[in-house]
Amino acid sequence: MRRFAIWLSAADRRTEVPPAGLLPGRYVRKRPYIYSDAEIRDLVRIAGQLASPAGLKGRTYSTIFGLLSVTGMRVSEVVALDREDVDLDEGILRIRRTKFGKSRLVAVHDSTRQVLADYARERDRVVRRPAAAAFFLSEGGDRVTGWAARYNFAKVSREVGLRAPAGERRHGRGPRLHDMRHRFAVCTLLRWYRAGLDVEREIPKLATYLGHVHVNETYWYIEAVPELLELAARRLESPKEVEP
């Protein structure tokens, strides 16, 4: 209501804007679901089987889901990619339309670059006259939307058993597409801790890669995942080497 009042006050100065913090409350972030490697493989595989007249739908969503899992990008960033944003020679993605307006470059592994290149060839074979400059297209030549990505992810999730079948009620709706981003962040931090790296020194790199506004957003993962919290506690308890 406060945000609506701020907007309305621009047209009607008589509008009273409630002060910030008027009502007590605290935003509680949902605990992330960390997909296993097997679950990621199943999601990508079943997504590749999504039916469509020319067969591009399955290829599109299996590529999108795979890209989300290996880069930690937001789904809004992936579907906003234009062809010019994807450098298939260097393996660099340019993120321009971000949640907080921060542009960044995302480097991908050569295996990921190859998958994107294969998808681009298939996309261009099926869609000869695209209606949008988007990298990820529907068979009609339009940009894939975030809504469509989430819908098809829910459909695929039911197929692999991560969500209840349609029409069956359970507590909660199951893992989300956004949890791919959480998985990437958590797996990166776990790998650093297990390798004995100085996570405090490395974590700004992860924050930059993910496009976080503040590094505190990245530190949240440590307290949100029990295994990470335990590893962080062990590191604090262990004596640090004194540099000469």
**181 included as an active-site residue:** yes
**178 included as an active-site residue:** yes
Among the listed residues 57, 143, 181, 183, the single catalytic one is 181
Among the listed residues 41, 94, 150, 178, the single catalytic one is 178
**27 included as an active-site residue:** no
**221 included as an active-site residue:** yes
Pairing of strands 86-87, 104-107: unpaired
Among the listed residues 35, 193, 212, 219, the single catalytic one is 212
Among the listed residues 99, 109, 121, 191, the single catalytic one is 99
Q: What DSSP letter does each residue of the chain carry, written as one string?
A: -HHHHHHHHTT-TTPPPPPTTSS-----PPPPP---HHHHHHHHHHHTT---TTSHHHHHHHHHHHHHHHH---HHHHHT-BGGGEETTTTEEEE-S-TTS--EEEE--HHHHHHHHHHHHHHHHH-SS-SS-BSSB-TTSPBPPHHHHHHHHHHHHHHHTSSPPTT---SS----TTHHHHHHHHHHHHHHHHTT--HHHHHHHHHHHHT-SSTHHHHHHHHHSHHHHHHHHHHHHSPPPPP-
Among the listed residues 74, 113, 163, 176, the single catalytic one is 74
Tokens of 17: 């804007």
Tokens of 91: 């393996």
Active site residue ranges: 74, 99, 178, 181, 212, 221
